[in-house]
Chains A and B, each alone.
Chain A
Amino acid sequence: MKWINWNRITKITRKYNDEDEENGSNVEKNKELKITQKEIKNKEKSFIESRLAWKKLFDYPIPKHANDVTYTLGGTIIVLGIVQLITGVILQQFYIPNSNSMPGAYESVSEIANNVSLGFVRNLHYWGAQFLIIMVLLHSARVFISGAYKKPREIQWLAGVGLLVTVFAFSYTGTVLKWDQEGTEALEHQIGTAKIAGPLGIFLTEQFAPSVSLLSRIFALHVTAIPAIAVPLLGIHLILIRLNGIASPKVLDKYKCITARVDQKVPFSTHINKMLINGAVVTIIVIAFSLIWSAPLYFKGVEGVEVTKPPWFLLWLYPLENIFGVPAIAYTTIFVIILFVAVPIVDRKEVTDPRQRNKMMIAMFLLLLSFVGLMIMGTLSPSMQHNMG
C-alpha cells in the first residue's frame, strides 16, 4: 500500500489553482498536475474503502520504531494464535473428551498421534503452543523494558497480564487433555491446589459437578471458556493500542525534563506486513520442529502415581513444590500475578530509558533469573511423589 502525502497533494493543488488564475501554463506544471490527479484518484474511496474503511484501519501513521522486530512480537503472537485455532479445531474433531469411556481421551490422542497427517497437526498444535508461550513471555519482557506499561497504557498492560494468564491456562488444560501420565498428574496437582483455595477452588475439582468427568470440563474450558475470555481481552488490548498509539521512548534530559522521541512516521500497513512476515517465519520454525520432534505422549495415566515432571513452562513451580509442598503452587502463582499487576502501579515515573530505571531493571533480571534458575533446578532434581492432601 502506498503512503499518500496529503500535505503534498494540498500544496500542489493550491499551487496549480494559483497559477491557473494567472493563466500561466508549462510542461512542468502539467507533469505535476498529472501526478496530483493520480493521487486525488487514489483519494477517491474505492468500493472496499467506502464500506470497510480499509485505509482508515490500516493506513494511519505509526512511528518507525514500531516496525523493529521486538515491537512486532505481539503481531507474531496473533499469527501463532491463528495457527493454534486452526490446528485446534481439526484436533477437536477427533478427540474424545471423556476419561471413563473406552476408547476415551487417551486412546483418541494415541490414534491422532499414530496417524501421519493428524499426528503432524497435533505436533503443530504442540509446538505452536510452546512458541506462543515463549513469545508472550518475550513480548511482556519487551513491553517491560521499553516502559510501555506507563501512563496511559496501564490498562493495556493489565489486559496483557490477563492474556498471559489465559495463555498459561490454555497450555495447562491442553496438557491435561492428552490424559497420559503427565496429564493425570497435572490434574491431580490442580485438584490438590484448588482444595487450598477453598470455595474459590471448588470449580476446579470433581466435587463441583461429580457426575461429569473432570476431564470433560477441562476440555470445555480449553475450547470454550478460556477462548471466550482471551478474545475480548485481546480486543481490549488491540483497541487500546490503536487509541493510545505505540509507546515512544522518553528520557529525562539534563534539565530534568521529559523529552519524547519524535520518530519518522510510516503507515500501519507496513507493520501488518512485518507482522505477517515474522509470523510466517515463526510458523515455518514451528513446522520444522513438528517435522523433527513429535509432541510427547506418555502411557495412559495411572491415578495416584507421580513419576513425571510438569512441562517447562510450569517446571519453575516444581522445586518450590518439592520444598514447600503442594500449597506452594497456589501461593507462588498468585504472588507472580500480583507482581505483574503491580508493575504499572509501582513504577509511575514517565522515563522509559532502561538506564534511568535501574530498580525496575534489577527487579526484572531477578525475576528472570529466578524463573530460569527454578526451571533448571526442576529439571535436575529427581522426580518426587507429592502429598495432595
Chain B
Amino acid sequence: MIRFYLLIIIITVYVYFSSITFLATINVNIVNAHVGEKEHGEGKSEMHAVVLSKHKDVNIELTADPMNKQWRELSSQIDIDSLYGHKISVNSLNNLTHVFFLLSWNDSTKGYHIGALREINNHTIYNTNTDGAKIVFEPHQEEAQTTSIATKDDVQNRSNNIALSDKKNNSGSVWYWDSLGPTSLSVDKEGVITKAQWKNNQWHVIIGKRILDGVHNTQSNNTTTHSLFKPGILQKGLLKFVVWDSAEGESLNKTININDNKDDKLLQAADFILLPTLNIYPKDVYLWSGILIIGVIFFVLLEIKLHNGLVLSKQERKEEDLK
C-alpha cells in the first residue's frame, strides 16, 4: 500500500515539474513575441525614477539636516542623476497643504561669486554665478491620470481637465533656490519656500511650496489643490531636478531654457506621487492579537475543565492508594 502511495506521489511530482518546464519553454517564445509587439506599439512606457512625497500628519520641520529623524525615517530617498554629472538625493514630504523637497548633492565649495543679476519670467532676480538648484514641473497631461474613479462624469471631467491645463498655464513651474540668498528660511515672490545648509562638502536644500489654496493653482475647480498635487495620483515624468556648482563654472544660465537647451533634453524626468495619509501603523493588529490570545487561554482553561472529571484529585488518589 505504501509503495502504491509513493508511486502516485512520485508520478505527480514528475508530471508537475515536466509540465511546468514545458510551459516555461513555450512561454519564452510568447514572451519574445509579446516584447517585440510592445516595442512597436504605442503602449510602451518609459520607466522613470519615482519621487514619493510621503505624508506627515504633524507639522513638517523645516530642517535641511538630512540626518533629522523626519527625513531619515518618514520620507523615502531616491538618487537621481542630473546635469553635469551631479547625483542628487531627493527626499520629499507633504502634509497635504505644503509639499517640501530636500535635495542633497556633493559640492566641495560653499562659496559664491558675485556676478551679474538676471531676471527670470519678469519677476525674480537671480544671481547667475552662484550654486543653486531648481525643480522643474513639466506636466504630461496625456499621461497623467487626473481621476482615480472612472464614472461617466469623470471621463467628461478628465477631458475638461486636459482642455483646461494647456501648456501656457503649466509652463514656468520652476522652483528655484540659489546660494546668494539667505540659507535660513526664506520665501520668494512666487511663494517658494527655501532653506539650505552646507555641511561636509554637501549642499542640503529644502525647496517647497504651499499646494493648497491656489498658490500654484491655475485651474480652480471646487477643490483648491492643484491637479498636479492631487494625492495618490501618479504624475508621469513630472519632475526634473537640476543643480549647479559655480566653482565648476556651471550656472543657472545653462539650464534656464528647459525646452531649448540640449543638455536639459538629456535630463531624465522623474515620476511624482503625492501620498495621502496611509495606514502605516495598522491598529487592527491589536484587535486580532487580543482575540487570539484571549481565545487560546480560554480554550486551555476549558479543555482542562473538560479533562478534570477524569483525573482523580489528590484526595481521591490517596484514597485509591490506601485501598
Residues of A within 8 A of B281 (CB): 379-380
Segment of A15-23, A83-91, A305-313 engaged in the interface with chain B: A305-313
- Whether the Cβ atoms of B145 and A300 lie closer than 8 Å is yes
Contact with A along B197-218 (1 / 0, CB 8 A): 0000000000000000000000
The 5 closest A-B CB pairs, nearest first, are: A299-B232, A103-B150, A107-B150, A110-B149, A353-B307
Residues of A within 8 A of B73 (CB): 382
Which residue of chain A has the shortest Cβ distance to B27 in the bound complex? A207
Quote the shortest CB–CB distance from B34 to chain A (angstroms). 5
Quote the shortest CB–CB distance from B135 to chain A (angstroms). 19
Quote the shortest CB–CB distance from A205 to chain B (angstroms). 10
Segment of B106-114, B125-133, B168-176, B286-294 engaged in the interface with chain A: B286-294
A254-B312, A305-B52 known; A315 vs B285 contact (CB < 8 Å): yes
Q: Is B83 an interface residue (CB 8 A)?
A: no
Residues of A within 8 A of B273 (CB): 302, 305
Find B275's partner among A296, A307, A355, A385 (CB 8 Å cutoff).
A307
Quote the shortest CB–CB distance from A170 to chain B (angstroms). 17
Q: Is A138 an interface residue (CB 8 A)?
A: yes
> Once the chains are docked, how many angstroms separate the CA of A146 from the CA of B301?
11
Q: Is A162 an interface residue (CB 8 A)?
A: no
Segment of A42-50, A195-203, A337-345 engaged in the interface with chain B: A195-203
- Whether the Cβ atoms of A249 and B303 lie closer than 8 Å is yes
> Once the chains are docked, how many angstroms separate the CA of A106 from the CA of B154?
14
- Whether the Cβ atoms of B50 and A102 lie closer than 8 Å is no
Please name 24 pairs of A and B residues whose Cβ atoms are closer than 8 Å in the assembled complex, sorted by A.
Answer: A110-B149, A130-B284, A138-B299, A145-B303, A146-B303, A146-B306, A207-B24, A210-B27, A249-B306, A251-B311, A298-B232, A300-B148, A302-B273, A305-B52, A305-B273, A307-B275, A308-B280, A309-B282, A312-B284, A352-B307, A353-B303, A353-B307, A371-B292, A382-B280
Q: Is A10 an interface residue (CB 8 A)?
A: no
Residues of B within 8 A of A114 (CB): 149
Quote the shortest CB–CB distance from A180 to chain B (angstroms). 9
> Once the chains are docked, how many angstroms separate the CA of A371 from the CA of B290?
12
> Once the chains are docked, how many angstroms separate the CA of A300 from the CA of B234?
9
Contact with B along A365-389 (1 / 0, CB 8 A): 1001001100110111011010000
Residues of A within 8 A of B9 (CB): none
- Whether the Cβ atoms of B285 and A208 lie closer than 8 Å is no
Residues of B within 8 A of A372 (CB): 289, 292-293
Residues of A within 8 A of B299 (CB): 70, 138, 141-142, 145-146
Quote the shortest CB–CB distance from B5 to chain A (angstroms). 13
Q: Is A209 an interface residue (CB 8 A)?
A: yes
A211-B34, A315-B282, A382-B73 known; A302 vs B307 contact (CB < 8 Å): no
> Once the chains are docked, how many angstroms separate the CA of A143 from the CA of B283?
28
Quote the shortest CB–CB distance from B263 to chain A (angstroms). 27
A203-B20, A296-B279 known; A379 vs B285 contact (CB < 8 Å): yes
> Once the chains are docked, how many angstroms separate the CA of A207 from the CA of B35?
11
Residues of A within 8 A of B149 (CB): 107, 110-111, 114
A302-B50, A355-B307 known; A312 vs B293 contact (CB < 8 Å): no
A251-B310, A307-B278, A382-B74 known; A138 vs B291 contact (CB < 8 Å): yes
A138-B292, A254-B317, A299-B231 known; A354 vs B285 contact (CB < 8 Å): no
Quote the shortest CB–CB distance from B251 to chain A (angstroms). 34
- Whether the Cβ atoms of A261 and B309 lie closer than 8 Å is yes
Q: Is B151 an interface residue (CB 8 A)?
A: yes
> Once the chains are docked, how many angstroms separate the CA of A300 from the CA of B275?
11
Q: Is A28 an interface residue (CB 8 A)?
A: no
Which residue of chain B has the shortest Cβ distance to A199 in the bound complex? B20
Quote the shortest CB–CB distance from B164 to chain A (angstroms). 20
Which residue of chain A has the shortest Cβ distance to B55 in the bound complex? A307
- Whether the Cβ atoms of B296 and A368 lie closer than 8 Å is yes
Find B282's partner among A111, A305, A353, A379 (CB 8 Å cutoff).
A379
Q: Is A304 an interface residue (CB 8 A)?
A: yes
Residues of A within 8 A of B295 (CB): 138, 141
Residues of B within 8 A of A309 (CB): 279-280, 282
- Whether the Cβ atoms of A312 and B288 lie closer than 8 Å is yes
> Once the chains are docked, how many angstroms separate the CA of A210 from the CA of B280?
33
- Whether the Cβ atoms of A385 and B293 lie closer than 8 Å is no
> Once the chains are docked, how many angstroms separate the CA of A123 from the CA of B217?
36
Residues of A within 8 A of B276 (CB): 299
